[in-house]
A and B are shown apart, each in its own frame.
Chain A
């Protein structure tokens, strides 16, 4: 098997390339003015609340250096939480604390952190270390998401999240991202997380890849990924579809998690969703995007759009 593929074959498979995504979809359907809504997690959270999209509970917003002192008081009665830079990208600067051991905070990886470390981390976030372009940022502290037993079983550490690409309000493709040892508990595919393509019609696993190669078993947990089926699938699709109304962005990636208690929660939105989802699904995006673009009468409610997507794009 050669390591190259002809562009004609790629086109025939309907694979969306980076340049085409940027020119024909992101530039055309995404209004620049709406970008801050998705690039800033705090704004996304507040916006989602207005549109009845559930997100992990917000515990604290640290905007100024001196507010870091309050973090100590607030963190006293929290068992698990996540610290995120509001304008971070690609999961950078996110610290997830699972539990406490005396004075120490324990990360998902099992590493022990001191309060001083977390305070310096907050200070780094404020200075803009993780933000796009290094601009000053705010840090948000939110409740820890506890994934359902089924999902946490297949994933190695970390929280498996579900990425749904929403085009003009229609969920067109979805995948589940499982962190691995190689990805250091992060759910970024290019760092080695496993991407599991999900059937839009049912939420069932279709195909799985790691480092762009097809796999059948999770490399760390050894469980077959093809058995995975997401609960509450239609709720998730409707939530994703609703993000279109919330932001007005025509081409977005919606990141959801499935919490044990709270059900589906919105983690973040991405105005420049990656292309790896095609590899995870074993299908190209272009035919589906073309289908939506050629719709004569679009559906006006998120529910109808989700239903249309389930029947049209379901396996």
Chain B
């Protein structure tokens, strides 16, 4: 017999484990499912309120709404506006909310809600094709002033970014020269900067940002300057010239020309209010996970009842892993290969101490009764069947007595798999007769020890969280178990068993 090469096997296991981890990481990144249970993430609820006077004709209101704002992710968008038809319209890369009604008169109020969560992965640095700088037309004497200012700023700069910074510095200097004073007098400041940059051949635009502060009302939008450096849009604070967007500012409007258009109304006003909520990251991930890429792997798509079942089922591989490790690497003897896992599953439902007490009392009472059964010389099947009935009787007895004495824990006995209990008692009893009480104690405690270890692992919040939210991690468990199946080294207990080897000549 020839030994097959082991390399394909190890390669397969490596691929398995790598695939499991890669899938989990991808899902973590894509769907934002947290690694740890109980991780909290802030969610901002921003409400835009539009007030206007309708003139009694048909009304069409169009509001620019955030579309991929840098540093944030939009969770949901909602409009509240009685009587109005509402739709979200994507118009040449510009997302707008539109309300319409056939006829309206008097004061009108429309609401638009958006939920945002900070997200570092969408920092807005999407490459875009550089737009053409808008051609600007200046009248004298402004044209001369513009040329002079741009020349001074341009002399100190080398790139669109430094040009922007220099320009802002010039315009904000505490002692403006007369050229600058002239320009500032005749123009709105931010628009002026934008126009100057465009004139200098740098595509620039004004975006509206909203500073997020908890529980604020009637907040205005603040203008931010954006320039295109040939690759992507960069945001500058128009007053300080600081590059980059502060973390607490969400850009409400970036691309669109107008924030708000109202047809059939007048005196329109818009104001913003906001509220911060803290939502478990997991809830956040599952809320949006839905049809999203790898979201189909999520067990949250299942009905709640099945989810509960899978929570339990997906813990079983961990128990199997513990049993494999304890038996192969450590070498602990257990009674029945996977009996400890089933006991551990019962422990998960009963919690440890009541579970242990219940288990030990059922097995102890069962062993005594089995002693009587064995003197009856029953056939095996009949004896096991009788034992199952006895186990159920003992369970019932413990539950009733426990309940009467005021311990609710007595009831938890019912979680133990009855047939497994019956077989455990039968095996223990035969073991006692054939190999003596010593072996019963060794195997009994070996099983309980492994069961408790498996329970501790399966009950760890992290394990519960990971197994259910990242079922693909079971590929790793699978790989580890396969690897252990190839382990040919000594078991830990063998180092003790074979210790007399030291005396060999």
A residues engaging B (CB < 8 A)?
1-7, 9-11, 13, 15, 17-20, 23-24, 28-29, 92, 120, 123-124, 127-129, 134, 190-191, 209, 212-214, 250, 278-279, 282-284
Contact = CB atoms under 8 A, between A and B. Distances in A.
B490 A17 contact: yes
B488 A9 contact: no
B1 A29 contact: yes
B379 A123 contact: yes
Contact of A283 (B489, B491, B494, B504): B504
24 contacts: A3-B496, A5-B499, A5-B501, A6-B495, A7-B489, A7-B495, A10-B501, A17-B488, A17-B491, A18-B331, A19-B488, A19-B489, A19-B490, A29-B1, A124-B380, A127-B379, A127-B380, A129-B380, A129-B430, A190-B435, A214-B503, A250-B1, A279-B501, A284-B501
Nearest to A281: B504
Contacts of B126: none
Given A17-B489, A23-B485, A127-B380, 4 more contacts: A5-B502, A10-B490, A120-B377, A127-B381
B229 interface: no
B337 to A, nearest CB: 12
Given A6-B495, A18-B491, A28 B502 contact: no
Contacts of B496: 3-5
B505 interface: yes
B488 A5 contact: no
Interface in B471-498: 485-491, 494-498
Most chain A beta-carbon neighbours within 10 Å: one of B1, B381, B488: B488
Nearest to B328: A19
Interface of B: 1, 3, 328, 331, 377, 379-381, 430, 434-435, 485-491, 494-505
Nearest to B490: A17
Given A19-B328, A128-B380, A2 B488 contact: no
A272 B435 CA distance: 20
Contacts of A7: 489-490, 495
A4 B3 contact: no
B479 to A, nearest CB: 17
Nearest to B488: A20
Contacts of B3: 28
B388 to A, nearest CB: 14
Closest 6 CB pairs of A and B: A127-B380, A20-B488, A17-B490, A5-B499, A127-B379, A120-B377
Given A124-B380, A127-B379, A15 B498 contact: yes
B126 to A, nearest CB: 54
B498 A10 contact: yes
A19 B500 contact: no
B486 A23 contact: yes
Contact of A212 (B486, B500, B504): B500
B500 A209 contact: yes
Contacts of A134: 380
Nearest to B382: A127
Contacts of A17: 488-491, 494
A120 B379 CA distance: 9
A53 to B, nearest CB: 24
A10 B495 contact: yes
A161 B381 CA distance: 34
B375 to A, nearest CB: 11
Nearest to B3: A28
A14 to B, nearest CB: 9
Contacts of B377: 120, 123-124
Contacts of B502: 1, 5, 9
B488 to A, nearest CB: 4
A174 to B, nearest CB: 17
A19 B491 contact: yes
Given A5-B501, A13-B504, A92 B488 contact: no
B441 to A, nearest CB: 15
A213 B500 CA distance: 7
A24 B373 CA distance: 43
A242 B491 CA distance: 33
A9 B501 contact: yes
A5 B495 contact: yes
B377 to A, nearest CB: 5
A23 B505 CA distance: 28
A18 B494 contact: yes
A212 B490 CA distance: 17
Nearest to A123: B379
Contacts of A190: 435
B442 to A, nearest CB: 11
Most chain A beta-carbon neighbours within 10 Å: one of B328, B498, B499, B504: B498
A24 B1 contact: no
Given A134-B380, A191-B435, A282-B504, A3 B499 contact: yes
A168 B473 CA distance: 42
Contacts of B497: 212
